[in-house]
Amino acid sequence: MKMKFNWGTGIFIVIVIFLLAVIAFFIFITNLEINLVEDNYYEKELVYQERIDKINNTSSLPGKIMVLQEPGIVIVEFPELDSLFTPEGILTFYRPSDPKQDFLVPLQLNDSSRQVLDISGIQKGKWVIKIDWAIGGTEYYYEEEVFINN
């Protein structure tokens, strides 16, 4: 028996292909992992003015924080700070493409106001170093993008 191709058969084939494409798209979308930039972003947005104040405090420092890269290490260099107080804070390594790789490092500056961090074990790519610290009751915040390629 020979099947005859006519308008009805063509329309049926187009509708079936369209439905299969819609089903495949729906399956793809439901299996797609969506990462928000931050967990609890709404609560963080409500206190964003505090971060703006910290950034303004950082810009009023006499020097600029420098993030330097050398093979296998990142050096965070602070400007000359008041020697009466020791800065206390956290360095956050934030990975925009995979929040599961984020990690925190306590701020521990040496005598020359630097902190050397070993990055030999972290994945290549874009990272954002966020520094949140306080000195003598004044809070500061700084962040800088780095591209790790060890």
Give the torsion sign (CA, 39, 131, 50, 85).
positive
* Domain ranges (residues) in the chain: 1-32, 41-148
Answer yes or no: are the C-beta atoms of 82 and 136 closer than 8 Å: yes
Average pLDDT value for the chain: 86
- At 56-74, the pLDDT tens digits run 998 888 888 899 988 888 9
Per this entry, what is the length of the chain? 150
- pLDDT band (50, 70, 90) for residue 40: confident
Within 8 A by CB and 6+ apart from 39, the residues are 99
Tell how far CA 27 is from the center of its chain: 28
The CATH label, of 1.10.260.40, 2.60.260.20, 2.70.150.10, 2.60.40.3760, for the domain at 41-148 is 2.60.40.3760
